[in-house]
Structure 1
């Protein structure tokens, strides 16, 4: 169905613009009138109201976790106060500072006025509200307890933001050191080595192996730097495109989980996310099969997500959750055993909460341990680079000194 870009006036006289999907211009006018809008202009073209507008800049717009947390808290407060859902999101539309959020909430308001459910209205905007967020809203609508669902969403978004922030902060220091290490290597190779190379060649002395290696690397860099640059850009570009494909994402996530020091952090983070999401979905009344399907698409790691493939069929056979997870490489025995106890005792939600709390601590501990171990390793690497160039420069200098005497 084609899109029609429109400009209209709301019931209060405020100007409104956006995009509506309709069979033709006449139907677009009817849809706008049904929303209580007075059409001023309607023309073919445009993209989704939540993600269009602003041209290419709209593609770069995002909603940060902090903004989503604040949005959810404000909605929860107003719903708890008894304000109608449509009026809640009208107020949120007026208060939104993020352009993408404002357009999204505006589209949600229009859908709600047409009789759409919260799940339907929110699920049309996956760029802002992921599948898990929408599934929680659907559970809240079915149970009639939206306030409780918003409380859980606030906890979940905040929890995931903190875990992600811990991992990023732990990787920031080694990344900076590696960049500086590479910069020091290039500086020594391109500015320091050439000056001494000219001196050593004019002295006509036998050069030690480190010096010969440095001079060969310098000459290769000068002669082939365009080819090297193109190769690096090509490899980075091809890798970036590949990891966006399903097989590439799977290989990347498997590699991350297999890396020493870093791998355990990602694995424990995935376990924390799994237990948190699963527990919240169970406490919200979502069925086990539906919960696992949602987790498979929202856990954020393709390798761990693959474990859930075919799990629904095994559940229908009455094998439970813990038994199929036992053979997985990514689910530790503690997680599997806690789930098994929860299944047998009927307290799965409580066990998952315990697992989430444990792995929150594990992530924090592992991040600290990784930072402690990476620091000395990077210092050893930096010392090795500087030491190699020092040998390459001072060994011939020592030979020159002996010749002078």
Structure 2
């Protein structure tokens, strides 16, 4: 089906641009009218009419929708639904109020999809890069149960919860990453700009160089002779590493590796357990089946090794086993999660048990993040002192020997 680029006027008089698929220009015009737009120009092809319109479309495509914007969008959507405003009016209001260009366009496209008879779930599903699998399935559960505002309330909690956990972990990792980068830059500057200034002086002095100076000079000579090869090798390694991570097997090996790393492994495991328990509890309360929940968790847990275990649990559930036995044969789920799932399934309070697990591991993650910072900081300080101390010895030890010779 051919693609048509268009410029049109919205109901508020605002100029909108975009592309749509239609059988003909007349069909594209009818689609625009059904979306509530007044066509100004329609051109077959992916490039909108005029350079400015093309650039405006590119700006929309390059715009990212942040988590905070999704949270605000969902809160506004829920509030207006509770006030009794129709879906079409909600999307129109959100389109007018949104400051994010991509989210503004998405609201307009979703409005058009609803007008054409699609469900709200189908309208959200047309934008998987903005609305996650979890988000879309929560909307589906709320739409089917007729309790969409309540489901959206739970969804807001989940998004805010995950955003907070990720922000805490990123905040804890930000300092060590910054220090490592500074260490690398300091090493490069000292080796490239400082050591060369002293090489000639030390050579003319004809003194026996101490081992730190010999190592530093050899490293400088190596990078001077083979620096370009090293750079090409590093770039090739990074490129290959990224390509491997994009494969299913590569991602699985990488995620398993991080779960085994001391200090970091327990932190990531606890964060995954908190996410699992919170999502499972809320999805079950929203009326989603256990098999569907496991599918959703497999795509949202954020770790391929744990996601693989969800697939294995799902297969055992299809064989007629209960929920608790398959969890006992997993490798990465903690004893607390397994026992709470077992107790919750037997007592019929699985949702309450999992919510308790989520709250517990939220506290554990917060404590682990604080412990991580406390454990890493001394190591980073020693690393920084070691680099600076090594180059200080490499420079000042031979200078001290030269001073003694002069005396």
User: TM-score of the superposition, structure 1-length normalised?
Assistant: 0.93
**Distance (Å, rounded) in 2 between the aligned partners of 1:37 and 1:394:** 75
Question: Is residue 5 from structure 1 mapped to residue 5 from structure 2 by the alignment?
Answer: yes
Residue 331 of structure 1: CA displacement?
A: 0.9
**Distance (Å, rounded) in 2 between the aligned partners of 1:221 and 1:280:** 56
RMSD of the alignment, in Å?
2.1
Question: Is residue 183 from structure 1 mapped to residue 185 from structure 2 by the alignment?
Answer: yes
**Distance (Å, rounded) in 1 between the aligned partners of 2:44 and 2:347:** 59
In structure 2, the residue corresponding to 1:42 is in which secondary structure?
strand
Match of 1:103 in 2: 105
- Structure 1 stretch displaced more, 38-47 or 136-145: 38-47
Q: 1:2 to 1:132 in 2, by over 3 A?
A: farther
Match of 2:24 in 1: 24
Match of 1:167 in 2: 169
Residue 266 of structure 1: CA displacement?
A: 1.6
Residue 399 of structure 1: CA displacement?
A: 3.2
Match of 1:376 in 2: 378
CA-to-partner distance for each residue in 1:275-305, whole Å, 9 max, x for gaps? Answer: 1111111010000000100110111221211
- Structure 1 stretch displaced more, 255-264 or 15-24: 15-24
In structure 2, the residue corresponding to 1:207 is in which secondary structure?
coil
Structure 1 unaligned residues grouped into runs of 5+: none
Question: In the alignment, is the contact (CA less than 8 A) between 2:35 and 2:111 conserved in 1?
Answer: no
Structure 2 unaligned residues grouped into runs of 5+: 48-53
Match of 2:272 in 1: 270
Question: In the alignment, is the contact (CA less than 8 A) between 2:17 and 2:57 conserved in 1?
Answer: no
Q: 1:145 to 1:170 in 2, by over 3 A?
A: same
Q: 1:56 to 1:16 in 2, by over 3 A?
A: closer
Map of 1:117-128 to 2, 5 A cutoff?
A: 117-128=119-130
Q: 1:361 to 1:311 in 2, by over 3 A?
A: same
Map of 1:5-404 to 2, 5 A cutoff?
A: 5-10=5-10, 15-46=15-46, 54=56, 56-404=58-406
Match of 2:50 in 1: none
Q: 1:45 to 1:273 in 2, by over 3 A?
A: farther
**Distance (Å, rounded) in 2 between the aligned partners of 1:385 and 1:62:** 39
Report the count of equivalent residues.
Answer: 401
User: TM-score of the superposition, structure 2-length normalised?
Assistant: 0.92
